[in-house]
Amino acid sequence: MARFKVTIAYDGSGFHGFQRQAGKDLRTVQGVLEDRLTKLLDEPIIVHAAGRTDAGVHAKGQVFHFDTVRNISAEGLIYAFNRYLPADITANQVAQVAPGFHARKMACGKCYGYQLYTGRRLPAIGHMYLAHEIRPVDGAVFSKVLAQAQGTHYFAGFCGRGATTLTYDRTLYRVRVLRAGDYWAIYLIGDGFLRKMVRNLVGTALDEATGRKPAGTFARALASGKREEGGNTAPAEGLFLERVYYDKEDLAQGIDRLDAGRPEDLVGPRAIFINLF
């Protein structure tokens, strides 16, 4: 029995999230991966991902592992797998790993990026990768409000309903907001994220920065842990799972890359299509 770690990118526009949904005829990333791998390897395959993404959310560096009895190399697997995959999923890396490796349990951090557009009309090219905010955004307020999320907090006030988690405590090592004209980018690197946490953080900060919610809304939700005291959930299409980290050194380097990154690489159309982390 061999265990493989696979890093993939996918366009979430055509998927109802990552997780296969039993009893529902919905296209999911997990469903496609398992179906294609099962046919390719001629054995039942179950994939275990580093985390779930919601419907419409994209990934540049999602990670999963699976086991197989087939005698196949990592090089042979990535070549064959990509031939079987649809155009909106690409396997970027495949490596054989120790039997004890687990894509979710062994992750020590993740990086998410959120791409936002504040112009009057979304650009025709790339619109499916941008959230659209039509109200004027006070950039100073937006950055100041969102910066409150950096550090270790009890994030229950920003957790989506229906989540199953033992603790709501998470640490965000870095929260960075950048702007280039009508393009905005928000990057968050942390030890873990709750269900819809990024979208709820961004949505609540936008509510304050546009005047939809009064000043202090974000702080109250953070302090109380009550979701009803927060703001709206930002749209899914702007969210990207950028990278999953599996050792502290790699995580530290990811934080350094974010701190040192050039704004022209981190925000706008270029940032949507390249891997920065």
Q: Residues annotated in the binding site for substrate, as ranges?
A: 112
Q: Could you say which of 11, 25, 42, 54 is catalytic?
A: 54
Would the CA dihedral through 250, 251, 256, 258 be positive or negative? positive
Q: Which of 126, 124, 117, 119 is nearest to 234 (CA)?
A: 117
**Can you tell me the distance from the alpha carbon of 230 to that of 107, in angstroms, rounded to the nearest whole number?**
28
Tell me the two tokens of residue 230.
């927060």
- The DSSP output letter for 155 is G
SS (H, E, C) 258-273: HHHCCHHHHCCHHHHH
Q: Which residue has the tokens 């950055």?
A: 143
Binding-site residue positions: 112
CA distances 176 to 15, 74, 149, 158, Å, are: 28, 36, 11, 18
The answer to whether 35 is a known catalytic residue is no
Instruction: Please identify every residue annotated as catalytic.
Output: 54
